[in-house]
Structure formats: C-alpha cells, structure tokens
Amino acid sequence: MAALELDGVRKVYRSGDAEIVALDTTNLVIPSDEIVALVGPSGSGKTTLLSIAGGLLTPTEGSVTVANTEISSFSQKQLTAFRGQNIGFVFQAVNLVPFLNARENLMVVAEMNKLPKAAAKDRASTLLEELGLGQRTSNLPDQLSGGERQRVAIGRALMNEPKLVLFDEPTSALDTKLGAQVMELIRTEVKRRQTAAIIVTHDPRMTEYADRTITITDGVLSV
C-alpha cells in the first residue's frame, strides 16, 4: 500500500495578472515503509510539497491520496480530523507546549483525537521510553536539551500511529553529531513501525538515512 500518492499536483498563486507556480505538475508515490529525503534550495517548493502532502494546503490541480484516502476535496474540518488520525508532523521549530511536561506534550495529540486518557498516558510513556527519555517524562521543555526536545517532538508525531510522518528540517538547530543521532533515531522508529516519511533537509549528509533522495528546484521534482 502506498502511504502517499500525488497525481498531477500543482500549486499556483496569483499576484495581479501574474501566475506564480510554487509546485509544478508533480507525480509521486511513496510506499508505506519508505523514507524519502527531499532536498532543494530555499524557495524551491519543499515546504509547499510537504504542506500539500500533509493536508495543510490544498492543491490548485491534481489529487492527493494518503493511506488510500483521496483528500484533495476535503473540507478544512475533514482535513483536520484526517491529519489527527493519519499524519504526524515534526516542524523545524519543535513547537512544544512550554507549560506541559514531555509526556503531556504527547498526550495533547491523544486528547485532540479523543482517545482514552489512561491508554494515551501508557502509550506516551512507552514512546518516551523507546526514545531514551524514560527518565525525563515529567520535565518541561526548558528543562530539556535541544536533542531531547527534538525527540519529544518525534514522539508526539508518532503518538497517533500515523501512516505518514513529515519532517521539516529536523536537524537544522542541532550540531552535526546530535543531528546524526536524531536522524538515526528517526530511521529506527519509522522503520520499526513501517511508516512512510518525508524528511526535508538542507544538509546532504542527512540523506544517507533515507531510502531515496528527491531533489526539487523551482517547483519541479527530480525523482
């Protein structure tokens, strides 16, 4: 089963009479257990593609299918519900809730999806243990290192057992050694769950952790 299928996807913005093509006609299939690195210069369309794949942005043309569900025509309410159940996100800024501890940051996802609190608490604790944070579950974000905060963000992305996880520059704020550790952790956790992932990165050294590398330039993919 494919985790993601983009079929003839375009994203066009209009500025007066001008047409700005953020993403040109794009066809892409990512199997359910593949990790794809998406690389390209600033303004190349990486974030646009990631946003469309995650249902954060609606394409101008074409269809988007995630986990066998075509989502291009979904309403915002439908997209919000679908994302909560099927897609995980790790943003460049980890965006942890500062007044919630590590475990509570994961449980926010469960609460949004109205999962039983006891089961959610157990799952959050298990995930943090797997991510090497078993002794840090009660720590607030400002009591964690940059690498630990990134691991909490990864745990949060995996909390809903997603079919697709999207990473936007997950190592940009980390040094080379810590970045490599985080990428190894991402690969281990994603492969363990047979989840698909797209990892946007500017660092070519991080592509070695992916199964496939795709380049995007001026909104055009080179697969």
* Longest CA–CA separation in the chain, Å: 57
Instruction: Tell me the average pLDDT of the chain.
Output: 90
Q: In what order do the strands lie in the sheet with 61-66?
A: 18-31, 2-15, 61-66, 69-70
In DSSP terms, 195 is beta-bridged to: none
Report pLDDT for 113: 77
Q: Is the pLDDT of residue 1 over 80?
A: no
pLDDT tens track for 71-117: 998 999 999 999 988 999 998 777 899 999 999 999 998 888 777 88
Q: Judge whether 120 and 110 are in contact, CB under 8 Å.
A: yes
Percent of the chain with pLDDT over 90: 61
Please state the three-class secondary structure of the chain as a single string. CEEEEEEEEEEEEEECCEEEEEEEEEEEEEECCCEEEEECCCCCCHHHHHHHHCCCCCCCEEEEEECCEECCCCCHHHHHHHHHHHEEEECCCCCCCCCCCHHHHHHHHHHHCCCCHHHHHHHHHHHHHHCCCCCCCCCCHHHCCHHHHHHHHHHHHHCCCCCEEEEECCCCCCCHHHHHHHHHHHHHHHHHCCCEEEEECCCHHHHHHCCEEEEEECCEEEC
- Domains present along the chain, CATH in parentheses: 30-59+75-222 (3.40.50.300)
* Rounded CA Rg of the chain: 17
Integer Cα distance of 43 and 60 in angstroms: 18
For residues 30-69, one letter each, b for 16 or more C-beta atoms within 10 angstroms of the residue's C-beta and e for the rest, the string is bebebbbbbbbeeebbbbbbbbbbbbbbebbebebbbbee
Report pLDDT for 220: 92
**Average pLDDT estimate for 109-137:** 87
pLDDT tens track for 162-177: 999 999 988 877 788 8
Q: How confident is the model at residue 185 (pLDDT cuts 50, 70, 90)?
A: confident
Integer Cα distance of 206 and 203 in angstroms: 6
